[in-house]
Amino acid sequence: MANANLNRRLEALEVRRICVIKPSALGDVVQSLPLLPVLHERFPNARIDWVINQELADLLSGHPHLDELLLFHRRGTARQYLHLLHELRDRQFDLVFDLQGLMRSGLMAAATGAPLRVGLETSREGAGFACHLTIPQTGKAIPAFQRYWRIAEELGVGNRPPQTIVHTTDSDRAWATSELRGLSGPILAIHPGARWMTKRWPVEKFAVVANKAMRQYGFSVVILGSKNEMPVANELQTLLQGFVSRKTVLNLTGKTTLKQLTAVLSAVDVVLTNDSGPMHLAAGLGTSVLGVFTCTSPAISGPPGEQHELVATQVSCAASYKKQCPHSGRTHLCCMDELSTERVCAALVRLIEKRRLHTRVA
């Protein structure tokens, strides 16, 4: 649809119920969370609901500016999807934001029948036809976090600092404190996994960087990830324990809920990670990130802020966003070899110097 001024369209609309459609993925949901405080500020009397993948619902539960979560079952039945569409229609939303921009989310937006439905320029699969207007300057060339924040700017509340709120309970924080209690010195959290094979920097290279952090700067290490990332996490744990046998390595992979993961990421000093959901969650919480980028671009997909260090490969196909390597033979996954441990270690040193973490080493 043609671009139009959002505030002008809102002048003739009484907004009582708002729906945000952003089911996945973890990193994208985290980067869109700062919209909730500004939506609440702009529409203080409106009810705000969110369509979220069932497996990510824990991340949003208890948010002070959310009224209800509408669950989308990614591998659900046709009946479950139709039930969700009926729920969306029955809520009688006045304003809908489709931040996913896929055919299924476009159908969700259309099902609401809302008088004002808003999308982004990254919409595909025909999702844009379900929206009345598209927010300008939200194309693929715009950094992901800025695409979502453009909505705040169009609403006239983009001048406030973005705020990522994830509600954690006393129990979640106590669990994290208990688990991390045995670690000494500053804590380096490592997430060595990623959903795409082209994002997964080799585990032995993570081990080299972590070894430097442990030996030279006195870090302890906690390894994080989902249950299906346990093999790579266990391999990393074995490598690190072989390098620095006297230093504690805590492996929490597959053992955390999203809220417990949030509590852990809030408590550590630095997160070393591939381009992933936990990277964005850590950055949103204010924790310094050392990000490794192979097939994606740190300028487009990385977190904002000078408190982070983002290192990218420099091969010709860098930032191709391909889930499978386009090369074969000797050049297959050449980005992994080109992105050296020396460059990432140098970034680690810069990050430590910026944070002055060395002053905290006993």
Of residues 28, 85, 22, 74, the one with CA closest to residue 48? 22
Residue 22 scores a pLDDT above 90: yes
- Mean pLDDT, residues 262-291: 98
pLDDT level of residue 360 (50, 70, 90 thresholds): very low
Considering the chain, what is the average pLDDT of its residues? 94
- Mean pLDDT, residues 61-90: 96
Q: Which CATH architecture has domain 172-360?
A: 3-Layer(aba) Sandwich (3.40)
Q: What pLDDT is recorded for position 361?
A: 42
The C-alpha R_g of the chain, in whole angstroms, comes to 21
Amino acid at 70: L
Structure tokens at 88: 């969306």
- Mean pLDDT, residues 205-227: 96
- Mean pLDDT, residues 282-291: 97
Q: What pLDDT is recorded for position 362?
A: 39
Query: Which of 6-10, 133-137, 357-361 has the highest mean predicted lDDT (pLDDT)?
Result: 133-137
Residue 102 scores a pLDDT above 80: yes
Per-residue pLDDT tens for 217-249?
999 999 999 999 999 999 999 999 887 766 689
Hey, what CATH class is 6-154 in?
A: alpha beta
Per-residue pLDDT tens for 163-196?
999 999 999 999 999 999 999 999 999 999 999 9
Domain ranges of the chain: 6-154, 172-360
Q: Do domains 6-154 and 172-360 have the same CATH topology?
A: yes
- Mean pLDDT, residues 289-302: 96
Contacts 24+ apart (CB under 8 A), 7-12: 7/154, 7/155, 7/156, 9/116, 9/132, 9/133, 10/95, 10/116
